[in-house]
Amino acid sequence: MLQIRPMGPYTGAEVTGVDVKKLDDDGFAPIYDAWLKYGVTVVRDQELEIEDFLRYSRRYGVIVPHPSKSTRHPDYPELTMLGINKFNADGTLKKEVYRRGAEGFHTDGAYDEVPFKATKLYALAIPSTGGDTHFSSMYQAYEVLPERLKTLLDGRRGGFTYGGRTGQTALLNPEDRNRPPAMHPIIRTHSETKRKSLYFDPGKILFIEGLEPQQSDDVIDELTERMIAPDAEYRHKWRVGDIVIWDNRCMVHKAAGDYPPEEDRIHWRVSIKEPVAGVV
Ligand SMILES: O=C(O)CCC(=O)C(=O)O
Ligand SMILES: [Fe+2]
């Protein structure tokens, strides 16, 4: 029987008693509602082929290939492989593969005009220790922001690129680097829940429009300090067969990046967008 169990006051819900291969629209509706409410859902104990994973993912929106071409599955470009090809020919660790997503809390796809609605992972291999994923609610971050910042940021946009202020683009092909920044409101109203959240990514933001460069940097530093609100975190301990999906419009996440590198930690991953008239 389907069971949905919140994992904390604001973030994360666990879904058990379901086989996503057999879900119909009525069966999916409470899972989608829990996802909107808690920002992250964990569906346990799934046995999936790639086609099953893609089919279930399309329930959430349009799957788009990730700009990191080197980590795409050779036969399924819309599928990214995490944790594959972790070592160079000389046996040294490829940090950009091992520590992917571990440099800090972030939201996926802020460098695109239409950022990712959701990211979904399916766990194929999990190390004996470490390798968790952290999530935190940006609704909550907005709630507890001082009025001074809410007022300053209301109606202002940020400029975001893949590499942000550090310019790290190791996983991108040369032709995909140096794209112009995408502009997004820093205080964002969610298209489905209509709730306001902070939309911020310290690793991708370049500037906040309309502020002098020094003030822009100061506000970015202050938001970096404040983005993880009290009680807003959920830390996911992976099991093989978990499907985890998060809402990039109102959540941030990061990989712990701390597992024994000689062990496997492998996921299938898709990026999902909201269908927008003519654009995905
Ligand atoms: O591997 C993880 O735990 C998350 C990596 C990440 O940031 C992502 O897949 O977007
Ligand atoms: Fe990520």
- pLDDT tens digit sequence for 201-226: 999 999 999 999 999 999 999 999 99
Q: Report the C-alpha gap between 119 and 47 in whole angstroms.
A: 19
pLDDT number for residue 280: 44
Six token digits for residue 261: 């590198």
CB of 255 within 6 A of ligand 1: the answer is yes
Confidence of residue 185 (pLDDT cuts 50, 70, 90): very high
CB of 108 within 6 A of ligand 1: the answer is yes
Q: What is the pLDDT of residues 228-264, one digit of tens each?
A: 999 999 999 999 999 999 999 999 999 999 999 999 9
What 185-191 contacts at long range (C-beta under 8 Å, 24+ apart), as own/partner pairs, is: 185/155, 185/156, 185/157, 185/158, 186/153, 186/156, 186/157, 186/158, 186/223, 187/142, 187/150, 187/153, 187/154, 187/155, 187/156, 188/249, 188/250, 190/249, 190/250, 191/249, 191/274
Q: Which CATH architecture has domain 3-273?
A: 4-Layer Sandwich (3.60)
Residue 129 alpha carbon to ligand 1 centre in Å: 17
Domain boundaries, the chain: 3-273
Q: What is the pTM of this model?
A: 0.95
Nearest CA, atom 4, ligand 1? 255
Question: What are the residues facing 43 on neighbouring strands?
Answer: 15, 243
Q: What is the pLDDT of residues 109-168, one digit of tens each?
A: 999 999 999 999 999 999 999 999 999 999 999 999 999 999 999 999 999 999 998 878
Question: What are the residues facing 235 on neighbouring strands?
Answer: 134
Nearest CA, atom 3, ligand 1? 255
CB of 100 within 6 A of ligand 1: the answer is yes
Neighbouring residues of 246: CB distance < 8 A, sequence distance ≥ 6: 39, 40, 118, 119, 135, 253
| Nearest in space to 173 (alpha carbons), one of 65, 68, 254 | 68
